[in-house]
Homo-oligomer: A and B are copies of this chain.
Amino acid sequence: MARSNRQPSRERTSRTTVYETLRQKVLTLELPPGAALSENELAASLGVSRTPVRESLILLSQEGLVQVFPQVGSFVSRVDPAKVADAQFIREAVELASLEDLPADLAPDLVQDLRANLEEQRRPDLGLEEFFALDEAFHQGLLRLSGHGNAWATVVAAKGHLDRARRLGLYENASPARFAAQHAEIFDAVLGGNAASARTAMRTHLRAVFDDVERIRARSPELFATNSQTVPVRRNVVVWE
């Protein structure tokens, strides 16, 4: 067997790379909702054994991004509108609350980072994935302003379903410019110390994508969970060679 580059020195284990790879593929919809994930197939394609793959799937399962049915199969979770709503509620609660804790004088370096971030968002040739990365950094940066940057990890863990819905929405109308403008509006209100309008702008912004979910659902229902209990279906194993 070909032995891959062995370098498990510290913290960089096979499991972490497999986990990050799979998580990214799920969030970017490269692995679409409903896709079957075979531990054996993933292990073979990633060049590792079942163990790290399996442990990654367990982690993703705890995040709600993957569903594991014993003796049946593992599947990318369909986007659950209820979970999208939950994530929306949590995110709004946390981000709005952080605006209340903004200090009188903001940390200059954090402000500078946010400014540069907004500048990047205005680039006309921005790709969607680039915009998502900037968006993530922007919102985490806002949390940092009030000293609650670590809370972002919790928000991230909860908003997997929301993120996939967001991507579905952006893949359709593909207009990050509108969100970039909203970001700038929030930022200006924060800089001006106008807490009330910052709250309003933030709430408007966070609900913009959320309101699109039903529209997307009507167009691509197969990506969403049915209200009834999700049913695992083993796909036909028809291989031509």
User: Residues of A at under 8 Å CB distance from B?
Assistant: 3, 5-11, 13, 15, 54-55, 58-59, 62, 69-71, 82-83, 86, 89-90, 92-94, 96-98, 101, 148, 150-151, 154, 157-158, 229, 231-232
How far is it, in angstroms, between the C-alpha of A63 and the C-alpha of B222 when the chains are bound? 32
List B contacts of A97 (CB < 8 A): 89, 92-93, 96-97
In this complex, what residue of B is CB-closest to A154? B158
How far is it, in angstroms, between the C-alpha of A11 and the C-alpha of B158 when the chains are bound? 22
Inter-chain contact A86/B157, CB cutoff 8 Å:
no
Inter-chain contact A89/B232, CB cutoff 8 Å:
no
Apart from A10-B70, A10-B71, A55-B55, list 19 A-B contacts with CB within 8 A: A5-B229, A6-B229, A6-B231, A6-B232, A9-B70, A11-B70, A13-B70, A59-B59, A82-B150, A83-B150, A86-B151, A89-B94, A89-B151, A92-B97, A93-B93, A93-B96, A96-B97, A154-B158, A157-B157
In this complex, what residue of B is CB-closest to A10? B70
Inter-chain contact A69/B157, CB cutoff 8 Å:
no
Inter-chain contact A148/B70, CB cutoff 8 Å:
no
How far is it, in angstroms, between the C-alpha of A229 and the C-alpha of B4 when the chains are bound? 11
Distance of A3 from chain B, by nearest CB (Å): 6
In this complex, what residue of B is CB-closest to A5? B229
List B contacts of A7 (CB < 8 A): 229
How far is it, in angstroms, between the C-alpha of A93 and the C-alpha of B152 when the chains are bound? 13
Residue of A10, A58, A71, A229 ringed by the most chain B CB atoms within 10 A: A58
List B contacts of A96 (CB < 8 A): 93, 97
Q: 21 A-B contacts, Cβ less than 8 Å apart?
A: A6-B231, A6-B232, A8-B70, A13-B70, A58-B58, A59-B59, A62-B62, A82-B150, A86-B148, A86-B154, A89-B98, A89-B148, A89-B151, A90-B94, A90-B154, A93-B93, A93-B94, A93-B96, A93-B97, A94-B94, A96-B97
List B contacts of A55 (CB < 8 A): 54-55, 58
How far is it, in angstroms, between the C-alpha of A15 and the C-alpha of B158 when the chains are bound? 23
